[in-house]
Amino acid sequence: MMLIDGKLISAKVKDEVKIKALNLAKQGVVPCLAVILVGEDKASQTYVASKEKACKACEIESLAYKLSSDTKEEKLLSIIDELNKDENVDGILVQLPLPKHIDTDKILEKIDPKKDVDGFHAINAGKLVSGLDGFVPCTPLGVMRLLKEYDIETSGKNAVIIGRSNIVGKPMANLLLNANATVTITHSKTKNLKEITKNADIIVAAIGKPHFLTADMVSEGAIVIDVGINRLDNGKLVGDVDFENLKDKCSYITPVPGGVGPMTIAMLLNNTIISATNRLKRQK
Ligand code: NAP
């Protein structure tokens, strides 16, 4: 069994990002990411703080908008409108979830697809499905980078995704399909899940249920990618995979923490660099 080290690979990506950011700055383009947080959700505050810190470490300017939970939808739309127009802003990220009185789809569709570094806009989702260049959601993008770094072949492999969210499952499936895997997407209504996962060369678990994928669901030699982040009552952070009982059956496996998690921010920074590079090209 080989452990896939997301900490190590994310540090490598961040090093590359920093070099590219400094290079862009020399040419007059300082990469800039705007992050909007609405409300006081503790987890969201932590995520936003980590994103700001990572930007700083990688020479990316970060603009933080911290708005109260009673912020009106109109106000949020007008902030996004201003950021869309601001030539010095390369990426716009709205931290989810938003308070209930705000229409999330409406907000995400307001972001200029050219600055949609989270890859959640329907235009970017459509581009991914069509195999065209566009911004791709950071978590599945991070998974692809991990597979690449460990020389894991995807072409012709049976890949099974558990979970069909727009943030992880669906884009993950499209990325693996574009990389020539034979992809099965499973979800809560799937029958005989175990029969399907038993046939998989690669399993991506993105469910949100601790220890959901158990050893009996996996074949000898499978590659298991655990996207889940679950906090147990005792405060421990665990994934969607029963890591301890399953690890020895796998050829490769990601741990939680230290697997997919650290890749998400690294790929967000990388997407911001891509956007800043596009800005430089437009200016030339
Ligand atoms: P989500 O939107 O809640 O989606 C969960 C998916 O799991 C749904 O498609 C659901 O099916 C499916 N599911 C639930 N119970 C199932 C069952 N018994 N059998 C098969 N499928 C089942 O969650 P998400 O946003 O994709 O996130 C998934 C996990 O990844 C969470 O733990 C989240 O914290 C974590 N995550 C991590 C990162 C990172 O940076 N590493 C980023 C994003 C998310 P239905 O569609 O039928 O309901």
Q: What is the pLDDT averaged over residues 78-101?
A: 98
pLDDT score, position 81? 98
**CA 240 distance to own-chain centroid:** 16
Q: Tell how far the Cα of 163 is from the centroid of ligand 1, in angstroms.
A: 5
Kindly list the distances between the CA atom of residue 101 and the CA atoms of 72, 78, 95, 281, in Å, as whole numbers in the listed order: 8, 16, 15, 39
pLDDT score, position 228? 98
| Chain segment 104-160, per-residue pLDDT in tens | 999 999 999 999 999 999 999 999 999 999 999 999 999 999 999 999 999 999 999
Residue 281 lies in a domain: no
Residue 213 lies in a domain: yes
Which residue, judged by its Cα, is nearest atom 24 of ligand 1? 165
Main-chain phi, psi angles of 210, to 5 degrees: -55, 135
What Rg do the C-alpha atoms of the chain give, in angstroms?
Answer: 19
CA–CA dist 106, 81 (Å, integer): 13
Q: Assess whether 118 carries a catalytic annotation.
A: yes
Q: Assess whether 249 carries a catalytic annotation.
A: no
pLDDT score, position 284? 84
Residues facing residue 223 across a β-bridge: 202, 252
Q: Are residues 52 and 163 in the same domain?
A: no
Q: Are residues 152 and 196 in the same domain?
A: yes
Residue 274 lies in a domain: no
CATH code of 227's domain: 3.40.50.720
Q: Are residues 200 and 252 in the same domain?
A: yes
Whole-number average pLDDT of the chain: 98
Q: Are residues 79 and 33 in the same domain?
A: yes
Residue 2 lies in a domain: no
- Structural domain boundaries enclosing 33: 28-116
Q: Are residues 33 and 95 in the same domain?
A: yes
Q: Are residues 109 and 172 in the same domain?
A: no
Q: Which one, of 127, 70, 124, lies nearest residue 92 by Cα?
A: 124
CATH code of 91's domain: 3.40.50.10860
Q: Are residues 200 and 242 in the same domain?
A: yes
Residue 86 lies in a domain: yes
User: Ligand 1 pocket, 168 CB below 6 A?
Assistant: yes
Q: Tell how far the Cα of 137 is from the centroid of ligand 1, in angstroms.
A: 14
State the binding site.
163-165, 229
Please tell me the pTM assigned to this model. 0.98
User: Ligand 1 pocket, 206 CB below 6 A?
Assistant: yes
Q: Are residues 188 and 87 in the same domain?
A: no
**Degrees to nearest 5, angle at CA 272 with 271 and 278:** 90
* Strand pairing class (32-38; 2-3): unpaired
**Degrees to nearest 5, angle at CA 161 with 158 and 164:** 145
The total number of structural domains in the chain stands at 2
CA–CA dist 240, 168 (Å, integer): 13
User: Ligand 1 pocket, 142 CB below 6 A?
Assistant: no
Residue 18 lies in a domain: no
| Chain segment 241-262, per-residue pLDDT in tens | 999 999 999 999 999 999 999 9
CA–CA dist 206, 227 (Å, integer): 5
| Chain segment 16-57, per-residue pLDDT in tens | 999 999 999 999 999 999 999 999 999 999 999 999 999 999
